[in-house]
Chain A
Amino acid sequence: MKTINLIIKKELTRVFADKKLVVSLFVLPVVLIIGIYTLIGQMQKAMLNDIEKHTPIIYIQNEPEGFSDYIKTTGFDAEITGIKADDSLLDYKQKVMEGTIDTIVIFEEGFLDKIINYKEGDLIPEVKTYYNPSEDYSNKARNQFVETVLLTYQKQLLSGRIGNLNNILVFNIDLNPEESVIIDEEKATGKFLGMLLPYFITMMLFAGAMSLGVDAITGEKERGTLASMLITPIKRSEIVMGKLLSLTILSCMSAAVYAISMVIIMPMMLENLSGGETEGVVLTFSSIQIAQLLVIMLVLVFLYVSIVSLVAVFAKTAKEANTYVSPMYILVIVAGMITMFQKGDAGLFYHAIPIYGSAVAIQKLLIGELPVMAFLTTIGSTIVAAGLLVFIITKAFHSEKVMFNA
């Protein structure tokens, strides 16, 4: 144990004495994450504001009498232009396509007459709209026009025909919609974060292990500095454990740095996504949940470090190692991504699958429902997998073929 401590201390010193490495591992990620998300956030906000500010440009053909006054009473603000009854629509449609007109609205000829003189069996008249869903302005103009103008106009004309609308309405659904929502805020936000976080966490942990592990093992092998330890009387397994544990510590630190930047940036991201409403996205954990989460992540990092080290120890050059590690990284990302789309409760069996089981466990934990058995299965399977890898790595450290290419 004393020897392992010595090696851990040396490995940590190696990283922290190197200013460039410290900057690239711990400072740059924070700056980058915060920088990128702030930029994305600002741009998103600017875009939303722009759409909000834009006055819809609407062209109307066969506008019924009194319709423009009606629009004014609804408070719908738009630049409205009439189209002559016999004009061809082709040019106007082209302009919708180009985005210079947001929406075209066409009332059937004799629209009001048809409604007023309606007899049972007659065809009812139509209001037709043209818009371009790929243009933000057009999309919004059309939706607002239909919702705030056409639907209420329809109701008004309807009540003109049959008097009291209650005669045909029969019943109301949710007069006060906000009252209807019964939601466990914690679970809802947990669900949202639960979708994203396992993905981010597994990814960040692996990224940390990846860059450090290749240098600490293949790099040292290449530089010939690993051999200097192999000629001391310490056990090979002690070198392996010293290396793996120091890498685990460093990966955790690098993941913590990422996590902290995410926490800083999360409210900003959510604000942009939900359009300014941040209430209800407070994530609260019990101390048991936090402890469980930490244990899961710790053994997971150790497994990741073992995977990277296994590749690193067999690779002859750092370049080769990086080539082999990349596909593993993709696998880890995929495992995290599957959990994002996981429906229903994953059975105990899934927890026994290393990496994937951990991602599922983190997800369940964030929603607040990780049964003890599932927790233990996750930890157990991860430790068994990591142990197996450590065994192989130690074997490789004993092999002259692997160590000296002999």
Chain B
Amino acid sequence: MIEISNLTKIYKLSSKQMKELKTKKNIKRAVENVSIVANSGEIYGLLGPNGAGKTTTLRCIATLLKPTNGTIKVSGFDTVKNSEQVRENIGFLTNEIKLDPQFSPEYLFHFFGKLHGVEDKIIEERQEKLFSYFEINDFKDKKIDELSTGMKQKAAIAVSLVHNPEVIIFDEPTNGLDIVTARSVIDYLKQLREEGKLIIISTHIMSEAEKICDRIGIIINGQKVADGTLGEILTKTNSKDLEDAFFELYKEYNKEEV
């Protein structure tokens, strides 16, 4: 279970970053006063345009960033005070975190398994299961460097799940994947949900969110502007599909900022 209460994350900008963003303010509010509760056995989707604060939120959950204000609890552990316990319970996957190109998927699977304190025997079992599901066995001994984007992504997913985490955090899980691989990743997320895991993903692909997310939180300009099941959001915005709903909200809330 993830409980985010009043999360605010403010970045201090260097003068170079201020120039890049064409702003005179030396701070950037990436996330502002966001509260979310997500439970085991569900897929929660953070939906929003680029730069809305999705990745920042996920990084805060994964203990990589410390909230400026507010608290986050994962499986009852505070991400700041008990960050090590939080990390024991999560699997985090994002485009910016990569596997070392010099090693094979198998080596890294074992390496990270051991870092998570998983016993050798259980690592073997997990490898058998995950490598056959994602069809990694064919290239498990090759260096990550020599793999295609899809293969890399598959290996990264398998490695991030080596310790069978209770909470899985995926930043844009299907980004850069071909449709076949994307489908198998989505199917696996559903399977994890069946096993009672909590999966939180970020995406800007409406159809993906519509299809797999049990509940959706829409983030615009660092603020959560709506959340609930697909039906609840559609009713609230009086729209036919998620895309319409999103643009309704976008028109409403993006104006305020301007």
Contact = CB atoms under 8 A, between A and B. Distances in A.
Interface stretch (A230-238, A248-256, A301-309): A230-238
A10 to B, nearest CB: 6
B114 interface: yes
A404 B59 contact: yes
B98 A6 contact: no
A228 interface: yes
Contact of B115 (A13, A14, A229, A400): A229
A401 B9 CA distance: 13
A225 B98 contact: yes
A224 B96 contact: yes
Contact of B112 (A17, A220, A228): A228
Interface in A4-39: 6, 10, 13-14, 17-18
Nearest to B62: A231
Given A232-B87, A406-B11, A400 B62 contact: no
Contacts of B112: 228, 232
Nearest to B65: A400
A223 interface: yes
Which range contains the number of A residues in contact with the other chain? 20 to 34
B102 A224 contact: no
Contacts of A18: 102
Contacts of B84: 233-235
A338 interface: no
A14 B144 CA distance: 12
B114 to A, nearest CB: 5
A12 to B, nearest CB: 12
B115 A234 contact: yes
A6 B64 contact: no
Contacts of A232: 87, 112, 115-116
B66 interface: yes
A228 B95 CA distance: 11
Interface in B107-136: 107, 111-112, 114-117
Contacts of A404: 59, 64-65
A229 B64 CA distance: 11
Interface string B223-252: 000000000000000000000000000000
A3 interface: yes
Interface string B90-102: 1010001111111
A224 B111 CA distance: 17
A227 interface: yes
B64 A231 contact: yes
Nearest to B143: A17
Where chain A touches its partner, the secondary structure class is: helix
A225 B96 contact: no
Contacts of A227: 64, 96-98
A223 B87 contact: no
A3 B115 contact: yes
Interface string A195-221: 000000000000000000000000010
A224 to B, nearest CB: 4
Contacts of A231: 62-64, 87, 90, 92, 97
B18 to A, nearest CB: 15
A225 B64 CA distance: 14
B88 interface: yes
A57 to B, nearest CB: 65
B85 interface: yes
B103 interface: yes
Given A14-B102, A231-B90, A6 B114 contact: yes
Contacts of B117: 233
A404 B84 CA distance: 18
A400 B12 CA distance: 12
B115 A406 contact: no
B99 A233 contact: no
Contacts of A230: 64
A161 B78 CA distance: 109
Interface in B1-21: 11-12
Nearest to A14: B102
B63 to A, nearest CB: 7
A79 B248 CA distance: 107
Interface in B138-173: 159
Interface in B55-93: 59, 62-66, 84-85, 87-88, 90, 92
A382 B96 CA distance: 37
A229 B108 CA distance: 11
Contacts of B85: 233
Contacts of B103: 10, 13-14, 17
A220 B97 CA distance: 10
A165 B11 CA distance: 96
Of the candidates B62, B84, B85, B111, the one having the most CB atoms from chain A within 10 angstroms of its own CB is: B111
A225 B112 CA distance: 12
Given A229-B115, A231-B64, A14 B100 contact: yes
Contacts of B97: 224-225, 227-228, 231
6 contacts: A10-B103, A14-B102, A227-B64, A231-B64, A400-B66, A406-B11
> Shortest 5 CB-CB distances between A and B: which pairs?
A224-B98, A232-B115, A227-B97, A233-B87, A233-B88
Given A225-B101, A233-B115, 4 more contacts: A6-B111, A227-B96, A229-B115, A400-B64
Interface of B: 11-12, 59, 62-66, 84-85, 87-88, 90, 92, 96-103, 107, 111-112, 114-117, 159
